[in-house]
Structure 1
Amino acid sequence: MEIKKELNGSALQIALTGRLDAVSAPELDKVVQNDLAGITELTFDFKELVYVASAGLRVLLLAQKRMKKQGTMKLTHVNPDVKDVLEMTGFIDFLTIED
């Protein structure tokens, strides 16, 4: 998986490419743990993300919990396969998803 970060003031966009699974989730977890200080608007761009596994969902949950305390978080460009996983797991009920 590839992670691209774009910081604009207190807004951070993280674009993910590839698969968010048990192998790549720790890398994203480091970003969530280390790069969210002072961030009030977090956007995950899933345009190039083709798969998400439970380890990836865990990182998204941690990011959502943290951003709930300090700002907002949203997912954009979520493909149908990833959206299906979010629906089946109930994550779609508490994550903000925009097209």
Structure 2
Amino acid sequence: MIITKTTDGTSLTLVLEGRLDTMTAPQLESELRDSIEGIDKLFLDFASLEYISSAGLRILLSTQKIMNKQGSMVIRNANEGVMDIFDITGFADILTIE
């Protein structure tokens, strides 16, 4: 998985490319842990994300809890396959998705 990070003041955008699964979830978790302090707007761009597993969903949930305390988290450009996973798991009701 490739993660591209852009910071604009207190806004952070992470663009994810590839698969967010058991093998790559620690990479995202580490990037988020190192980057979200002082951030009040977190955008996750999933335009190039091919797949998300339960390991990826766990990271999204824990990040959402952190961002609820310090600002907001928005997922953008999720493809149909990823949206299906969000719908089936109920994450579509928990996350802010544009």
How would you bin the TM-score normalised by the shorter chain?
A: over 0.9
Amino acid at match of 2:56: G
Alignment of 1:22-41 (within 5 A): 22-41=22-41
Matched with 1:92 is: 92
Alignment of 1:1-99 (within 5 A): 1-98=1-98
Distance 1:36 1:60 in 2: 13
5+ residue gaps in structure 2? none
Moved over 4 A (4+): none
Amino acid at match of 2:51: Y
TM-score normalised by the chain length of structure 2: 0.98
5+ residue gaps in structure 1? none
Distance 1:3 1:12 in 2: 12
Distance 1:95 1:9 in 2: 23
TM-score normalised by the chain length of structure 1: 0.97
Q: How many residues were matched structurally?
A: 98
Question: Could you give the per-residue CA deviations for residues 5-26 of structure 1, whole angstroms, max 9, x where no partner exists?
Answer: 0000000000000000000000
What's the RMSD between the two structures over aligned residues? Answer: 0.5
